[in-house]
Amino acid sequence: MLKFIIKRLLSAIPVLFIVVTLVFLLMRVIPGDPATMMLGEDADPADIEAFKEMMGLNAPIAKQYIDYLKNILTGNWGNSLYYKTPVFQNILDRMEPTILITLYSTVLSVIIGIPFGVIAARRRATVTDYSITTLAIFGNSMPSFWLGIMMVYLFGVQLGWFPVQGYVSIAEGGLLKSLYSITMPSISIGIQNVSSIARYTRSTMLDVLNEDYVRTARAKGLSEKKVYYKHSLKNSLAPVVTLVGFSIAGMLGGSVVSETVFNIPGMGKLAYDSLMRRDYPQEQAIILFIAIILVITNIILDIVYKYLDPRIELDQ
């Protein structure tokens, strides 16, 4: 197991290097001068030049890139151009709501999507199957930002069931109040994953039900309940784990939209604000941090995959 983890971490280094390089270049390509955005259009040209010099923005791109790589390797991710504080500390300050929203959405996606997929497979070619499949297609087609706006209007403004914006931290109100404050954004970015997981679970269940060992179990006289839940479900879930990994990546990306719509001070909102301000160090740090989270998440999911399907060798 340890050998596998070390191997995966080492293989992630080239991926992170590519991510760092692409983000660095893209931030320099997009229009907009960070110094002008920070100081304003009416700022004195001398002040703008002084700001660029102080932040190293006047240096050649190659030198900026080399300095950036050196700083990352030494643990110095730099300071935000806007906040003037360490970018890593800014991420830690905003990390809680984003991680909670991602976990909340993932749990909702799994505990709703998998049972619905199993039910659809068990009721194949019935009204139940067609209804679940239709709802899944519909849910998968709804943009998260549109769903978020509709939820704000209906459940927040009209019914008053949930707060329309803001976030209650765990330190302020405890875990339950914190989860309550992020229920709507979690649902808005999780509904597509519920639909995807339900459809994929249905598909994998139907594939597994055609395997020889399932037919053998039925021939032995086992009940349909045992056939489905003891012999079929575990094996059908292994491929779903991969989909959950992709879903987590999508939800972390979707946090930019949901946190902006619901005005939640998380990493997604920070990423959006940093992009608008051309805050290079902060934006680069956020994307690198998310990439590291995804690497760790994929390692954990590979271990879960091994548990669900013992035939897989982790060290291969």
Q: Which positions ≥6 away from 145 have C-beta within 8 Å?
A: 188, 257, 258, 261
H or E element at residue 85: none
For residues 97 and 163, is the Cβ–Cβ distance under 8 A? no
At 277, is the pLDDT very low, low, confident or very high (cuts 50, 70, 90)?
Answer: confident
Domain boundaries, the chain: 87-308
Q: Which positions ≥6 away from 78 have C-beta within 8 Å?
A: 68, 71, 86, 87, 281, 285
- The SS3 assignment for 243 reads helix
Q: Which two tokens stand for residue 185?
A: 């954004």
- Give 49-92 pLDDT, tens digit per residue: 787 777 777 778 888 888 888 888 888 888 888 888 999 999 99
- Give 169-213 pLDDT, tens digit per residue: 898 888 999 999 899 988 888 888 898 899 988 888 888 877 777
Fold of 87-308: MetI-like fold (1.10.3720)
Cα–Cα distance, 272 to 260 (Å, whole number)? 8
Cα–Cα distance, 103 to 85 (Å, whole number)? 28
Question: Which of 55-59, 182-186, 270-274, 297-301 is the least confident region?
Answer: 55-59
Q: Which DSSP symbol is given to 311?
A: T
pTM: 0.79
